[in-house]
Amino acid sequence: MNTFEEQVREDVERALREDVGTGDLTAALVPADRHAQATIICRESAVICGRPWVTEVLRQIAPDSRATWFLSDGDRCEPGQKIVEIEGKARELLTAERTCLNWMQTLSAVATKTAAYVKAVEGTAACVLDTRKTIPGLRAAEKYAVRCGGGKNHRMGLFDAILIKENHIAAAGSLTAAFKAAQETKSPVAFIQVEVETIRQLEEALAAGVTMVLLDNMSLPDIRAAVKVAGGRCSLEVSGGVTYENLRDYAETGVDRISVGALIKDVKAVDFSMRFQERPVE
């Protein structure tokens, strides 16, 4: 598994191959010795996210540039607020512009939405988590953005934790059989979680010794009943059918966790702009 720094570098390399290819034909029209100052501003209220990726874009495209940041990831900005000033060669900054903004607009969108969901459950015992419903190739970045927004990460992928879902249960023959097989695995796992759809399945899970249960697409009355049946013997997570409008209702049932795919898969890009001001060659 890559380190965070390695993942950021690979993300940026892939993005630049996609955008720059064999070279920036338009930026080449600018004199090579021209310097410029660029400022990234945000046009709306948002939670900022993407600084490591912007920094890496500049490292790869404009290694001699100098960036002065006014906000850190996780900070909230207001419309028109200055996020970062960058000084360097004009050609390089022009080439870096769109890739920098793409990372900022995408990751800030996830962080901003997550922050709204986290605020909606304040005062309850529930925390808000993401899911594996991510853009292929951007999972680490998007899950980082969830953390910047105050949310928590569910498993990173299929390799670090076990989540026994409906089809696993069907294939194994029963919930109990699937859970027993999971307990016997030799691979290191962060947790073993079992998905249930009915109170009866919850009772079977508890009898088998399951300590993490996912309540899948259950109604509010059934979730309240599940909390009573569990009686604190396992952690309970809600998934499926959760919206911003009903999030608080789910949180107030007494569950421990609420996973929301929309934190990542249903966001609107935050509006950022990079403005250039020429500087005379010294």
Q: Which residues contact 269 (CB under 8 A, 6 or more apart)?
A: 105, 106, 109
Give the span between the Cα atoms of 147 and 32, in whole angstroms: 40
Which of the residues 76, 133, 224, 248 is marked catalytic? 133
The answer to whether 256 is a known catalytic residue is no
Give the span between the Cα atoms of 275 and 268, in whole angstroms: 22
Q: What crossing angle do the helices spanning 175-183 and 199-208 adopt, rounded to 10°? A: 30
Q: Which residues contact 254 (CB under 8 A, 6 or more apart)?
A: 125, 224, 227, 236
Which of the residues 76, 165, 224, 248 is marked catalytic? 165
The answer to whether 119 is a known catalytic residue is no
Q: What is the DSSP letter of 237?
A: E
Which of the residues 11, 97, 142, 195 is marked catalytic? 195
The answer to whether 165 is a known catalytic residue is yes
b (16+ CB within 10 A) / e for 142-174 = bbbbbbbbbbeebbeeeeebbbbeeebbeebee
Which of the residues 98, 132, 147, 248 is marked catalytic? 98
Which of the residues 216, 222, 252, 271 is marked catalytic? 216
Q: How far is CA 32 from CA 16, 100, 123, 161, 266, in A?
A: 20, 21, 56, 51, 41
The answer to whether 180 is a known catalytic residue is no
Sign of CA dihedral 202, 205, 209, 212: negative
Sign of CA dihedral 23, 26, 28, 33: negative
- Burial of 10 per CB tally in 10 Å (0-12, 13-18, 19+): middle
| H/E element, 229 | helix 220-230
The answer to whether 186 is a known catalytic residue is no
Q: Which residues are catalytic?
A: 98, 133, 165, 195, 216
